[in-house]
Structure 1
Amino acid sequence: MRLSTVILPIHRWAEGQKIWRQAEELGFHAAYTYDHLSWRSFRESPWFGSVPTLTAAACATERIRLGTLVTSPNFRHPVTLAKELITLDDVSGGRVTLGVGAGGTGFDATALGQEAWSPKERADRFGEFLPLLDELLREDATTRDGAYYSAVEARNIPGCVQTPRVPFYVAAAGPRGMRLAAEYGQGWVTYGDPKGPAEVPAEQAPGVIAGQLAKLAAACEQRGRDVGELEKVLLQGSTAERPLQSVDAFVDWAGTYQELGITELVVHWPVPDSIFANDLAVFERIATEGLQQLS
């Protein structure tokens, strides 16, 4: 099992770069950031762009993997996103992972002036977005005419450092998303029950993940793929569980999900006076000692 972190893009870089370097020094496998234009309780606070932040982080670090959790079609187009990812993969020396999903109804879902998409339209768009992005990152030139996304002689030379392209970690809970994860993903991402923490008691959260893992396995079997090929990534912070309160709480939480088959845990870097407020000293101990205490 691996342990990674999410660093929100809320810091001016003079301070933010220190956190990304510290994440590497603490031994995290990867450091991700949210790919949003704004987010919930941070809507009226500083919030910087994900790709420039990750590019700066790539220059400030040497080993840690970097990525988004998660990018979506809400304000992205596959053609321009592919060019940014190829550049970021080059700058980082092949350390990029793209967390990607269908998106939701957050504050940036209508930032470009569009009407809010229905769940069906989000799924339809994602079903076109992901295959086109896959092709753009694999091929020197791509032409495709879609209902939502098209490319005309879109050039992507020299391509990704990683071959055949940067890894996709597909966030999915429904059947269509699971099928896309099985077909295109090198990993699968969950944050728990999409209904949210208010609807699912902490003791029921592992059962939700177990059910999702079963659906992922079924989607992989239907695709003729071994589910063991995919990383299974759990993003902490959207359930009623509180694994960052102490090292012991983390070890219990991590052990539960390790037994279920989760291969990577992602915890939020503490942000004071927010829903992600946690003791930084405890967080650092979790980073350096937590996984070592799993039996």
Structure 2
Amino acid sequence: MRTGVMILPEKRWAQSARLWQTVDELGYDSAWTYDHLSWRSLQDGAWFSTFPVLAAAAVVTHRMTLGTMVTSPNFRHPVTAAKDAVALDDISGGRFVLGIGAGSVGAGDSHVLTRQDLTASERASRFAEFVELTDRLLRSDVTTFTGEHFSAYEARMIPGCVQRPRLPLAIAAGGPRGLDLAARHGQAWVTTGPRNWAKGFTPEECLDAVTAQVTALREACSRHGRQFAEMDRIFVVTPPAGDFLSSPTAFLAQAEQYAKAGITHLVLHAPREQGVYAADPDILHRIADEVLADVRGL
């Protein structure tokens, strides 16, 4: 099992650069950041643009994978997102993963570009078209496409991705349509567990939900002739899943549970000083020193 760290883009680069470097030096496998314009309870605080932050991170790190968690159609267009992704793949030397999701209604930035409210079905359709066009753009030098939600006219992606045939896509999904999309287009799949956190869930219920999603993903891969074992299966840890950062021992125990459920990659939030995701500032060092090697062997 691999372990990644989510670093929120909320601090000036002079402050946050060292954190990205530290995560890389400690031996974590990946580092990610949210692709939002603002975010939930932090929407009135500092928040920087995702792709420039990742470009800077690519320059000061050397080995770990970098990615968006996740880019969405709420305020992105496939052509510009793909163009930025190609640049990041180049700057990072082929270490970039483009995470893509349907776009959360409650994240705080879903209506920045439009006041239009889409139904769940319309959002799913828009998401599918976003993924399909992005996939095509990243595989081709020139793409023309006309869809219901997005269009591209002789969109050029020259010189293309460093990673071939294109850089990896990590598809965030929990329902049948999204899991089917991940099976068709993704090199990785992303989940945070239950689809509707507002109902409230225990850590046990979260684990059960992820286990069921993994089973459904396996079935979707089988339908599309995909090798399930080749797909990275990423679980992004949030508070309802339990306190993964209380101690290295607790992290190892919870990692073992999710490995048994079929997860291959855990992503922890870097500790913040206060508020959401607040935790011991030294816990990432302690996990790396004490149990990271054991987790990698799961």
TM-score, length-normalised on structure 1?
0.97
Residue 187 of structure 1 aligns to which amino acid in structure 2?
A
Deviation of 1:174 after TM superposition, in Å, equals 0.8
- Output the aligned Cα RMSD: 1.3
| Counterpart Cα distance in 1 of 2:226 and 2:131 | 18
Deviation of 1:240 after TM superposition, in Å, equals 4.1
Q: Which residue is equivalent to 2:219?
A: 218
| Counterpart Cα distance in 2 of 1:40 and 1:274 | 12
1:171 touches 1:190 (CA, 8 Å); kept in 2? yes
Greater displacement, 191-200 / 49-58: 191-200
Deviation of 1:218 after TM superposition, in Å, equals 1.1
Question: Relative to structure 1, is the Cα distance of residues 279 and 198 closer, same or farther in structure 2, using a 3 angstrom cutoff?
Answer: farther
Deviation of 1:293 after TM superposition, in Å, equals 3.8
Deviation of 1:212 after TM superposition, in Å, equals 0.4
| Counterpart Cα distance in 2 of 1:45 and 1:257 | 33
Deviation of 1:13 after TM superposition, in Å, equals 0.5
What is the 5 A alignment of 1:199-278? 199-278=200-279
Deviation of 1:87 after TM superposition, in Å, equals 0.8
Q: What are the ranges of 5 or more consecutive residues in structure 1 without an aligned counterpart?
A: none
Residue 46 of structure 2 aligns to which amino acid in structure 1?
P
1:71 touches 1:99 (CA, 8 Å); kept in 2? yes
Q: Which residue is equivalent to 2:125?
A: 124
Deviation of 1:194 after TM superposition, in Å, equals 1.6
Greater displacement, 66-75 / 235-244: 235-244
Q: Which residue is equivalent to 2:25?
A: 25
What is the 5 A alignment of 1:6-155? 6-105=6-105, 106-155=107-156
| Counterpart Cα distance in 2 of 1:144 and 1:113 | 23
Deviation of 1:146 after TM superposition, in Å, equals 0.6
Deviation of 1:137 after TM superposition, in Å, equals 0.6
Q: Which residue is equivalent to 2:158?
A: 157
| Counterpart Cα distance in 2 of 1:292 and 1:82 | 34
Residue 137 of structure 2 aligns to which amino acid in structure 1?
L
| Counterpart Cα distance in 2 of 1:104 and 1:6 | 18
Residue 165 of structure 2 aligns to which amino acid in structure 1?
P
Say which SS state the counterpart of residue 109 (structure 1) adopts: coil
Say which SS state the counterpart of residue 31 (structure 2) adopts: strand
2:78 touches 2:130 (CA, 8 Å); kept in 1? yes
1:20 touches 1:31 (CA, 8 Å); kept in 2? yes
Deviation of 1:283 after TM superposition, in Å, equals 2.7
Deviation of 1:287 after TM superposition, in Å, equals 2.8
1:109 touches 1:116 (CA, 8 Å); kept in 2? no
Deviation of 1:238 after TM superposition, in Å, equals 4.7
Say which SS state the counterpart of residue 71 (structure 1) adopts: coil
Say which SS state the counterpart of residue 160 (structure 2) adopts: coil
1:192 touches 1:238 (CA, 8 Å); kept in 2? no
1:197 touches 1:240 (CA, 8 Å); kept in 2? no
Say which SS state the counterpart of residue 266 (structure 1) adopts: strand
Residue 208 of structure 1 aligns to which amino acid in structure 2?
A
Residue 32 of structure 2 aligns to which amino acid in structure 1?
Y
Residue 201 of structure 1 aligns to which amino acid in structure 2?
T
TM-score, length-normalised on structure 2?
0.96
Deviation of 1:187 after TM superposition, in Å, equals 0.7
| Counterpart Cα distance in 1 of 2:241 and 2:97 | 27
Deviation of 1:224 after TM superposition, in Å, equals 1.7
Residue 84 of structure 1 aligns to which amino acid in structure 2?
D
Deviation of 1:121 after TM superposition, in Å, equals 1.1
Question: Relative to structure 1, is the Cα distance of residues 275 and 197 closer, same or farther in structure 2, using a 3 angstrom cutoff?
Answer: farther
Question: How many corresponding residue pairs?
Answer: 295
2:20 touches 2:60 (CA, 8 Å); kept in 1? yes
Q: What are the ranges of 5 or more consecutive residues in structure 2 without an aligned counterpart?
A: none
Greater displacement, 263-272 / 280-289: 280-289
